[in-house]
């Protein structure tokens, strides 16, 4: 076997291990740093990740990571889905915006994925009801920090 192919296979296996669910976020970040793996370029928001989120968490995620500001997401919302506001969408529709709109997800990794190396304040919506819900969720520990580590 070619040495380059071995290194490539080893790299692929390492990435798979680092991204495994049993590895904690701090362990993931440490392993990635030690091995020179850029989790910001390897990890992507996917259906499995979004399935674990509430509608409110998805709204915060889309806003804080700048996904909703992406012209592709805005066009998908208005032209494909016929909606006027992300906030009026249900969870399944929001998942489609994340996954099917063509919005650039590269480098948009929530802090919860990369561990406590990044401390960021949770941004809340300007509307009172969303703000109260988000504050309540943060106080009771049901909402992780969602701000990105991988700023572009």
- Segment 45-88, tens digit of pLDDT: 999 999 999 999 999 999 999 999 999 999 999 999 999 999 99
Considering the domain architecture, whether residues 62 and 106 belong to the same structural domain is answered as yes
Is the pTM here over 0.85, yes or no?
no
Q: Is 61 exposed, middle or buried (0-12, 13-18, 19+ CB in 10 A)?
A: buried
Considering the domain architecture, whether residues 27 and 79 belong to the same structural domain is answered as no
Considering the domain architecture, whether residues 72 and 16 belong to the same structural domain is answered as no
User: What is the C-alpha to C-alpha distance for residues 114 and 112, in angstroms, rounded to an integer?
Assistant: 6
Considering the domain architecture, whether residues 58 and 105 belong to the same structural domain is answered as yes
Residue 121's domain comprises 44-152
3-state secondary structure the chain: CCHHHHHHHHHHHHHHHHCCCCCCHHHHHHHHHHHCCCHHHHCCCCHHHHHCCCHHHHHHHHHHCCCCCCHHHHHHHHHHCCCCCHHHCCHHHHHHHHHHCCCCCCCCCEHHHHCCCCCCCCCCCCCHHHHHHHHHHHHCCCCCCCCECCCC
Considering the domain architecture, whether residues 13 and 88 belong to the same structural domain is answered as no
The total number of structural domains in the chain stands at 2
Considering the domain architecture, whether residues 16 and 55 belong to the same structural domain is answered as no
What is the residue-averaged pLDDT of the chain? Answer: 76
Mean pLDDT for 8-28 is 77
Considering the domain architecture, whether residues 67 and 137 belong to the same structural domain is answered as yes
């Amino acid at each position: 076997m070619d040495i380059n192919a071995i290194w490539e296979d080893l790299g692929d296996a390492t990435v798979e291990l680092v991204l495994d669910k049993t590895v904690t976020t701090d362990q993931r970040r440490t392993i990635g740093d030690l091995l020179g793996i850029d989790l910001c370029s390897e990890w992507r928001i996917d259906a499995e990740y979004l399935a674990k989120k509430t509608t409110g968490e998805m709204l915060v995620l889309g806003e804080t990571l700048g996904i909703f500001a992406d012209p592709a997401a805005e066009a998908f919302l208005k032209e494909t889905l016929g909606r006027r506001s992300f906030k009026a969408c249900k969870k399944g529709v929001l998942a489609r915006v994340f996954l099917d709109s063509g919005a650039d997800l590269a480098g948009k990794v929530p802090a919860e994925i990369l561990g406590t190396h990044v401390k960021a304040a949770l941004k809340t919506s300007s509307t009172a009801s969303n703000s109260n819900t988000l504050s309540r969720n943060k106080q009771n520990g049901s909402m992780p920090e969602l701000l990105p580590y991988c700023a572009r």
